[in-house]
Structures are given as structure tokens and as C-alpha cells.
Structure 1
Amino acid sequence: MPHHDPDELDSYAVILTQLLPGTWTSELRPHDVRADQHVLTVGVWDMNQVAEALAARPLEHDVILTRDDGRRLFLMDHPHYEDEFLIAAMAPVGVHTEAFRAVREPDGITIPGDPERATEAVITDLLPRYETALAQVNANTARLTSTASRPDTLVMTWTESGELSVSTDHGEVAEILTGNGFVPDTDRHTYLLAGDDTAHQAQCVRAAGTALGVIHVGVTLQNAPHRSAPTTTRVPAPRPPTPNTLRSR
């Protein structure tokens, strides 16, 4: 088994930070062989050769390369060759595990001891796959955040003047309301539907309810407090869908 000097890995990493595009820093991390290997490498975004190398023997040291925009790379000695190294992307932190679902890991690569050739391999091979995976995770995170903040049921309330009033701060819901006749109030969180034409009001409610149902939002109609029952027939609300939930990875 080859002997690996942590100072050599550290020096190699410093050269990479100077050659890679962007502004990078490096951090050498010596490890106690008795430390929990999984905790040390939990962020390594790899299910291929880097993961196999980490599972094969205790990790004595590694280097984390960090770009000023938060991208991180994991660098370690090759377990079998003194003149080669392994480098892999690191997954973003603070992201819901569901955001990684169906996203393929941007598996790491072997790079040579020549820093210039290594840099070229990282730029042309690893970084593009890293960016693709990050974009998918970010898109999933945005979708999950939107779904989590969206109401399961929207309450439409008749006012004393016969208008229907709805309060929401969810952009997609607000867009559906305004697209079906609701007018935003001054605070932009309340939307009103005129009641001077009850037939038109009912038509707008039905259309809005159908569109809201597509995004799994139910509709409930209610009277304002102390308001007598309306003289027109109330529009039945669409059946509320099953509430949205987040599943763990």
C-alpha cells in the first residue's frame, strides 16, 4: 500500500485552487483513524469509485476545496497509486432530502499528479455534471418550498356587500384568483370578487375552483360573521384534495 504524505496533498490542492476557474480556498483535514468515517465524508456526492475508496480503508486526511459561491470539492489520495488522486463534488448543505430524489450523483473522477492536467479533467468532466446535479436539486427545492407554503384549502368569504373575499400570499394561488375575476385589494394579500352579478360570480368561483384543484388546493365558501344567508344558491366547492406532504429520501 503506498504511503501518502498529507503535506503533498495539501500542496497539490493549493495549486488546484490557483488553476480552477473562480476563487477557491483549500482546507487540509487530518483525521483520527478512530473517527466515524461516515460523519467525515457524509457530504461526498458520489456513489462510484470515491465511495468505494472511502469504504475500503480508514481515511487519514483529505482536503476540501471551496469556491466563493459555495461549491465544494472533496480531494483525497488515490488508495492504490502515489501519483494519482480522487476528487468528487460535495452535496449542498441545508437542503431537504426529498430534493435529491431522482438526481444522479455527479460521481468523482481520478486525476493525475500533474495539476494542469488534473484541472482540465475537473473543468471538462466533473464540474459540468456537478452543475447539472445542483440545478436539479435547486429546482426540486423550489418546487418543494412552493408546495409546502401552498394552502390545502382556500376559504372564500362573503362580505356584507355580497363580494367574495379571499386572503392568500401564495403567488400561484393569487395568479389563479386574478385570472378568474378576483381583484387584489391594496395590501395585495386580499382578493375580492364583485357580487353585483351573482351568476357571473358563481361562474368565476367555479373556474377558480377548477384551476385550484389542479394544483391540489380545495375551496370552501363561508359567510362572514353576523351575515345573513345569501339569497342566491351557494356554489359548491370542489372536493379538497389530499394534503401535500414531504416524503423523506
Structure 2
Amino acid sequence: MPDHDPEELDSFAAILTQLLPGTWTRELRQHTAHDDQFFLTADVWDMNRVADALAQHPLKQDVILTSDDGRRLFLMDHPRYEDEFVVAAMAPADTHAEAFRGVPEPDGITIPADPEQAADAITANLLPRYEAARAQVQDNALRITRLSAPPAALVMTWTESGDLTASTDRADVADILTAHGFVYDPGQQTYIASGDDTAHQAQCVRTAGAALGALNIGVTLRHAPHRGTPTTTPLPAPRPTAPNTVRSR
């Protein structure tokens, strides 16, 4: 493998940090043991030429470029050509393995040793695919976190007049309540489904409960305490099975 001098690789990376969009820093890493590279490069987000190069050639050095918004790029010498480098995206760190399911790898590219041409190729070719994949993984991770969290519960209470009231400080829950027939009372700071029409009230509870269930929020119905011993009817949110926590691409 025609490795460049470490200072040459680092200097090339330093110029790239100035040419790539955004703010980037760099870290030159030198490897003395071949076995270490598999641990140190585990987050390289590539199943194509970069993965093949890492599997077939001992890695003596690389550079990690990190942007201020958390993106990371892996830069290494080309395994065959001295006038080229190889660059790849790095997968988001500390992210649930299941979040990567179905997300295409933003495979790396070969870039010339000319920093300006290299920066143009990275910006036009690699970064758009990287950002799209990264956004999809982040959305998946957020959904997994929400679904695997213990379900919350919203208490709806019948008043003496037969109205059904609920209180929340979450904007998304408030939006669901108002969208499904509950009316906000600023004096009591509660959301009310009037008991004047019990059929409509029941429909409000059913539709709001279904929408809240999509947020992993259950609904509990209860009578006001002064009406006697409280009775509760829980309507639990779905409890999904906790997924595997080992990332597999």
C-alpha cells in the first residue's frame, strides 16, 4: 500500500478542513498494530471500496475529519495509487443498531491529491448521500427511543357535571386533545370534553386515545376523588418489544 508520509496526509486534511462547507477539525491517527485498525475503523460507513481496502491492506495512518454539527469523515491513503486518497462517511456514534436498518450505506469515494478538486468531489458526491443517510438514521433512532420508553399516561377525570377534563403541559398532547373535541379552559388550565352530549364525549375519548397511543401515551379514566373511591379504567399504549442494541450494517 503506497502510504504517504503522515505529515503529507495531515497537511492534505488540514487544507480540506478549510475548503469543505461548514467548520471542520482533523485528527491524525497512526496505527502500530494491524489488529487495532478493525476496532478503530468500525464506524466507517461503507460496504464498498473503503471496506475492501481496510480488509485487504494494513492501515498505517488515517485522519478523522469532524464538523461542528457532528458529521465525521474518514480519510486514508489510496491502497494502490499515490496521487489519490479515499474518503468515507462515518456512522453516527452511540446510535441504536436498529436505527441503521434499511438505510443505504453512503459508500466512500476516491479523491485526487489536489485539495480543491477533492473538496469539490466530497461536497458534490459524498456529503449529500451522507447527510440523507444520517438524517434517516437519526429519525429512526428517535422513533425507537420513543417506542421503547415506558409508556406515559394521561389522566382524564369526570367532574360532577359529567364533563371530562384532562391537564397536560405537552404541546403535542394539547394539540391532540383540541383536534379531537376537547376545549381548553384557561381559567382551570384544563381541556374539557363536555358531558352535554355523551355520545360525542365518548367519541372524543376514543379518537384522542388512539392518537395518544401513537405517541406511546396511555389514557386513564377516573372519577373525581370526592365522588367516592376512585375507579380507574386504564387504556394502555402499545408496548413494543425492545430491539437489539448491537449495530449491524
Q: Which aligned pairs between 1:56-135 and structure 2 lie closer than 5 A?
A: 56-135=56-135
Conservation of the 8 A alpha-carbon contact between 2:147 and 2:239: no
Residues 223, 48 of structure 1: CA spacing in aligned structure 2 closer, same or farther, 3 A cutoff? Answer: same
* One-letter identity of the residue aligned with 1:13: A
* TM-score (normalizing by structure 2): 0.80
Offset of residue 186 of structure 1: 5.3
Name the structure, 1 or 2, with higher relative contact order (CA <8 Å, separation 6+): 2
Identity percentage over the alignment?
A: 63
Q: Taking structure 1 as reference, are residues 191 and 108 closer, same or farther at Cα in structure 2, changes over 3 Å only?
A: same
| Equivalent in the alignment of 1:44 | 44
Task: Give 1:244 shift.
Answer: 3.0
Matched AA of 2:243: R
Alignment of 1:156-235 (within 5 A): 156-184=156-184, 190-212=190-212, 219-228=219-228
What secondary structure is seen at the aligned counterpart in 1 of 2:59?
coil
CA distance in 2 between partners of 1:3 and 1:209 (Å): 62
Are residues 11 and 209 of structure 1, via their aligned partners in 2, closer, same or farther at CA, if it must alter by over 3 Å?
A: closer
What are structure 1's unaligned runs of at least 5 residues?
231-235
CA pair 148-247 structure 1, distance change in 2 beyond 3 A? closer
In 2, the alpha carbon distance for the partners of 1:50 and 1:144 equals: 29
C-alpha spacing 1:170/1:146, structure 2 compared with 1 (3 Å): farther
Equivalent-residue separation in structure 2 for 1:4 and 1:99 (angstroms): 36
CA deviations on 1:73-114 (whole Å, 9 max, x unpaired) are 110111222222110011222332222221111110111222
* Residue 28 (structure 1) aligns with: 28
* Structure 2, unaligned runs of 5 or more: none
Paired residues, number:
244
Q: How big is each residue's C-alpha offset from its partner over 1:23-77, in whole Å with a ceiling of 9 and x where there is no partner?
A: 2222111123155323201221111111111122332211011222222111011
TM-score, reference length from structure 1? 0.80
Matched position secondary structure for 1:110: strand
